[in-house]
Chains A and B, each alone.
Chain A
Amino acid sequence: MIDRRAFLAAAAAATAGTLAGCAKKSPAKSDGSGSAGKPITLGFSQVGSESGWRAANTQSVKDSAKAAGINLKFSDAQQKQENQISAIRSYIAQKVDVISFSPVVVTGWDTVLKEAKAAGIPVILTDRSVETSDPSLYVTLVGSDFESEGERAAHLLEKVLAGHTGTVKIAQLEGTTGAAPAIERAKGFAKIMKASHPDWKIIASQSGDFTRAGGKQVMAAFLQAHPDIEVLFAHNDDMAIGAIQSIQAAGKAPGKDIKIISCDGVHDGFVAMSKGQINAIVECNPLLGPQLMDTVKTVHAGKGSTLPRWIKTQESDYTADQAAAALPSRKY
């Protein structure tokens, strides 16, 4: 018994030693790289690692920080607000130059943001927005405009349907119920529909939870209940990929018998588009690292007030004829 306890104590001491070693090493390294002038230290708190999109987002932030010579302190909140708040508090305690985070949820940030403001540390939001009582609590938001993505999807559908007249029966695969991208994309799409296409009709709309399995299952049921679906608008590529399998099982040709428009622009989405199964994709760009780093530098130089409140990510639209050319350059 004593032997075992002694062993455990020794093991614990050894682990602690290694950790201390690591901790000592890393500041030394960053000091070395910053010899050309004191590098900016950025504390970044990520939502989590819930999807391929998010993984690409994380990678982009890390890579571009390195390229911009910014000392990045990164933490993963594992989709919990408490983790994110404590990460932000620790950044405040460490006196980083700029704090940036992708908020897990929309509300409940006032207290911690006030602490950051009191410490004189500017905050930049990425990807998602927050609701605060005091707009001066953050400098700007670098992220996508989901509503405009929905509008762009509708405009892409206009292109795809060029020459088509009469009613168009549309099925919609929504994202997770209550998620901002799902709500906003549906809103943007409906706005254009209402404004300029009274003959377009959404005859079925259900949540596929942003997953392939969800998209496949919901589409299978849609095709049973509405065999006359002409267009599918999927809120992300993964659901569209799942739906394609169901359309094929129903003996129809995806992209021809049923036109498909989707959002995101992940690699597999482009593969499907290059096969002609998806007609058009609205890109939702996770590679916002370079834009974020530029913003960080501007804010650190004290020119934050010149920035707009919302810096929209640079995004493009793709149709099937561009797919093959764009495919090799897709990073996520």
Chain B
Amino acid sequence: MNLASLWRAAAQHRLFWPVTALIALLALNVPFTPGFFEVHLKNGHLYGSLVSIVLFGSPLILVAIGMTLVIATGGIDLSVGAVVAISGALACLVVSKQADQDSVAGVLLAFALALAAALVCGAWNGLLVARLGIQPIIATLILMVAGRGIAQLITSGQIITVNSDSYSLIGGGYWLALPFALFVVAFVAALSAALTRRTALGLLIEAVGGNAEASRLVGIRARRIKVMAYVFCALCAGVAGLMISSNVSAADGNNAGLWIELDAILAVVIGGTSLSGGRFHLGGTVVGALIIQTLTTTIYTIGVPTQANLVFKAVVVIIVCLVQSPAFRAKAFRARAKRSGPVPRPPGTPADAAHMEVSS
């Protein structure tokens, strides 16, 4: 009895279905790769499939965290992939021009310049969306297309290779036997969680996303909040760009971060954040990004034929989304629901109701 109520409480938790999907995907690998969950110490750092998933998934997690806040304000940012390319290209260009590529000062300068560029990109998006009132999907589409051109200008259409141990730390290196990228992601996730959930900022963002005009009328600086969200998102993308280029010690203006905006939006949605804005779940986003990365790794390890990759991905994503849909679950488990009385209230409904008041 007690166990049953505990189970019901867990099933009501909004992270329940995303986490279940993640565990199911991970478990799917075991028959194909018996040692999938094993983690060994190799060359002084941890090595294993789980470590790879975290390492290669870090940039996506970062981009998705930024995207979550933008989506929470009722917007969307399609330009993150371009910002990833710009930041990586600029950083690698600066490092490759150094006489001593290993010098920490030079690498820090590269980081600073790349993040400054990302900041400018974010401010540009914010300006278009919040000040000029352009539809977010159009406003950020501009930078999505133009930004990749800028990145190619920076690299002159070539792949810039760097040979710097200091630079390769952030995206490919290890610290305390763990991928350094993990610490960066943990820091950014903790920082954004603290800022949005320990202060009123999260509530303000949700208010703006629910109804920008109403929030302005109650005294929230809605425009400023929106600009901040785009700037934060671009900064996350900038750090992700550093990681991606550092991971392979090269900047590829053409391919770095290609289509990462779509993966990030997917991660946000799988994590339970509504695309219409007004509520967000950072924890869900992190799990969503991990699901996508695990899915990619799974395709490689279980040997899905290349031509069938995208179909396989689509099927898994559809299943994950269906399982998360309260309406679908209500239909699929109708028999059970009937037995136990009225349809159980799906997770997230109370929050919805609260926000309906704001937006109506």
Contacts and interface: CB of A to CB of B under 8 A. Distances in A.
B83 to A, nearest CB: 16
A212 interface: yes
Contact of B306 (A205, A217, A220): A205
Contact of A212 (B32, B33, B47, B250): B250
Residue among B172, B255, B297 facing the most chain A CB atoms (10 A cut-off)? B255
B276 interface: no
B252 interface: yes
A49 B157 contact: yes
Contacts of A217: 52, 56, 296-297, 300
Contacts of A214: 255
- B contacts with A: majority SS: mixed
B94 to A, nearest CB: 19
A251 B300 CA distance: 20
B167 to A, nearest CB: 13
A332 B123 CA distance: 37
Interface string B256-282: 100000000000000000000000000
A249 B47 contact: yes
Interface size class of B (residues with CB under 8 A): 35 or more
A55 B158 contact: yes
A52 B255 contact: no
B307 A213 contact: no
A314 B245 CA distance: 34
A207 B312 CA distance: 14
A52 B309 contact: no
Given A225-B33, A250-B47, A251-B43, A212 B301 contact: no
B247 A213 contact: yes
A238 B159 contact: yes
Given A213-B252, A213-B256, A224-B49, A54 B33 contact: no
Interface string B116-150: 00000000000000000000000000000000000
Nearest to B41: A251
Contacts of A221: 49, 52, 297, 300-301
A313 B36 CA distance: 45
B11 interface: no
A54 B157 contact: yes
A268 interface: yes
Contact of B309 (A55, A207, A245, A249): A207
Contacts of B306: 174, 177, 205-207
B248 A213 contact: yes
* Interface residues on chain A, size class: 20 to 34
A206 B255 CA distance: 18
A50 B254 contact: yes
A184 interface: no
Interface in A216-274: 216-218, 220-222, 224-225, 238, 241-242, 245, 249-251, 268
Contacts of A220: 52, 56
B344 interface: no
Contacts of A268: 159, 161, 250
Given A177-B306, A206-B300, A224-B48, 4 more contacts: A50-B254, A225-B32, A268-B161, A268-B250
14 contacts: A49-B152, A51-B254, A54-B157, A174-B306, A211-B252, A211-B255, A213-B252, A213-B256, A217-B300, A224-B36, A224-B48, A224-B301, A225-B303, A245-B248
Interface of B: 32-33, 35-36, 42-43, 47-49, 52, 56, 152, 156-159, 161, 172, 244, 247-250, 252, 254-256, 296-297, 299-303, 306-307, 309
